[in-house]
Amino acid sequence: MKLSIVILAAGQGKRMNSDRPKVLQPLAGRPLLGHVIATARTLEPTAIEVVYGHGGEQVRAAFAGESVGWALQAEQLGTGHALMQAMPSIADDHLVLVLYGDVPLIRRETLAALVALAGPRAMSLLTVQLPDPTGYGRIVRDADGRVQRIVEQKDATPDELAIREGNTGVMAVPAGLLRQWLGRLRNANAQGEYYLTDVVEMAVADGVAVRPLVAPTVPEVLGINDRLQLAEVEAEYRRLRARALLQAGVTLADPARIDVRGTLETGRDVFIDVNVVFEGHVRLGDRVRIGPNTVVRDSSIGADTQVFACCVVESATIGASCNIGPFARFRPSSQLADEVHVGNFVEVKNSRMGNASKANHLAYVGDATVGARVNIGAGTIVANYDGANKHRTTIGDDAHTGSNSVLVAPIVVGEGATVGAGSTVTKAVPAGKLTVARAKQVTLEGWKRPVKAPKGGV
């Protein structure tokens, strides 16, 4: 059967105490709904429909680039009513897979298994065994274990409340039958809502098979209603990502102190120390070592490079066998060749540095093209900004800049040139020569240090 996926995401999330709609709350840096859409995509459905309501325009805007359909549920009258809003765009011969926008860790494998259980005359239902299913709808089975219906917590009898099998809300239902059943829903229940869960009883009455699947893992069905649950799911996500890295052969100083908010590709024998955050798409080559308290975003780091403690690396391509940090910062768009050293309190922005070049201490390298074997002395500043425009600087191979020198861009420092310490250079620095641009040192003979006038004196 063709597959249509509907993601219910109209709930307000009052308990978040936030101005942001619940499904836009970030998990690992990405909105909850983004996780669900990404997983839904892996099933290659014909269409994905998102039912939205609260914070509507904000939600749609956050996913403007996604090819999903949007169905507005103007008033939140229940899960059945929500699903109904998406049905007009779904053909009768499709299978409808219902997901929740606030259940972000649901796994592709589980959904594939659930979809495989359903068919033209069979619906499937994802359930979960919980020691404490408070808040969940309960799965009522008959003596032979066949699912009879779902009863919501607020409508359940004490006997029903003792049932430990909860409804996750995720189900796969043939669209034609679903449409009929949704049309028959009534809201005569404790919450005055149109419960999607009531379709189970209708299926049973119509002789349609209801096939339960108990969720293989609990975290994947956890819903998020408040910030405590959000933090718990974030921790679970962290564990999952850390485990995958360990299995791939990465050494983690502490699996509980690494955050991967995006994709991380790793070579062999990579070591990652504590409190490291990866964002966007990051690639680490073989034997890369990342020191503690470091953030790496959208960057690639070559084999055998070491990043020492407390660095921030953003949109950089770093070569092999480099030494970075401690306390180095890369702002977007830098390329380092191999064996480059960028040391403490050095900021590099939109620059290239050639093989074996070094900026070991206290420097700013902005909008510069630096050749090979260049030594950028401590305190060298590339003054790339004139207050209105940015200008480029070129530093030739084997050049050295002295401590505390200012290179006022646009400027070219020739190959093998040396800029004397404390120089402010504003014109081309010739190759192979020493250029000094600072006041000459003078010593005043016979100069006397002033002394204080005596107190109370004339």
Which positions are annotated as active-site residues? Answer: 361
9 interface partner picked from ligand UD1, Ca ion, none, CB below 5 to 8 A per type: ligand UD1
Residues 163-182 that bind ligand UD1 (CB under 6 A): 166-169
> Distance between CA atoms of 398 and 376, rounded to whole angstroms?
10
Say if strands 323-324 and 306-307 run parallel, antiparallel, or are unpaired: parallel
**389 half-sphere exposure, CB direction, 13 A CA radius:** 4
For ligand UD1, the closer of residues 55 and 174 by Cβ is 55
Largest CA distance in the chain: 117
Which one of 57-65, 189-197, 392-400, 443-451 is the stretch in contact with ligand UD1 (CB under 6 A)?
189-197
Q: Minimum distance between the CB of residue 167 and ligand UD1, rounded to whole angstroms?
A: 4
The closest of 334, 302, 307 to 320, measured between CA atoms, is 302
Residues 141-160 that bind ligand UD1 (CB under 6 A): 150, 152
Residue nearest to ligand UD1 (CB): 137
Q: How far apart are the first and last CA of the chain?
A: 108
**Does residue 405 bind ligand UD1 (CB under 6 A)?**
no
Please say whether the dihedral angle defined by the alpha carbons of residues 171, 172, 177 and 183, taken in this order, is positive or negative. Answer: positive
Which one of 7-15, 325-333, 363-371, 398-406 is the stretch in contact with ligand UD1 (CB under 6 A)?
7-15
Q: Minimum distance between the CB of residue 2 and ligand UD1, rounded to whole angstroms?
A: 23
Which one of 44-52, 221-229, 251-259, 304-312 is the stretch in contact with Ca ion (CB under 5 A)?
221-229
> Distance between CA atoms of 31 and 22, rounded to whole angstroms?
9
Which one of 105-113, 193-201, 297-305, 339-347 is the stretch in contact with ligand UD1 (CB under 6 A)?
193-201
Which one of 5-13, 31-39, 106-114, 176-184 is the stretch in contact with ligand UD1 (CB under 6 A)?
5-13
Tokens representing residue 234 in the block: 């974030």
For ligand UD1, the closer of residues 24 and 381 by Cβ is 24
The closest of 365, 324, 318 to 343, measured between CA atoms, is 324
**Does residue 25 bind ligand UD1 (CB under 6 A)?**
no
Residues 6+ away with beta carbon under 8 Å from 69:
47, 48, 49, 50, 86, 89
Helices (H), 146-281: 158-161, 175-183, 199-205, 227-247
For ligand UD1, the closer of residues 126 and 284 by Cβ is 126
| Candidate list 78, 291, 319, 414; residue touching ligand UD1; CB under 6 A | 78
Q: Minimum distance between the CB of residue 181 and Ca ion, rounded to whole angstroms?
A: 21
For Ca ion, the closer of residues 13 and 420 by Cβ is 13
**Does residue 51 bind ligand UD1 (CB under 6 A)?**
yes
Residues 85-114 that bind ligand UD1 (CB under 6 A): 100-102
Q: Minimum distance between the CB of residue 238 and ligand UD1, rounded to whole angstroms?
A: 22
Say if strands 334-336 and 406-408 run parallel, antiparallel, or are unpaired: unpaired
> Distance between CA atoms of 315 and 405, rounded to whole angstroms?
27
79, 268, 327 from 60: Cα distances, Å: 20, 41, 39
Residue nearest to Ca ion (CB): 223
Q: Minimum distance between the CB of residue 35 and ligand UD1, rounded to whole angstroms?
A: 13
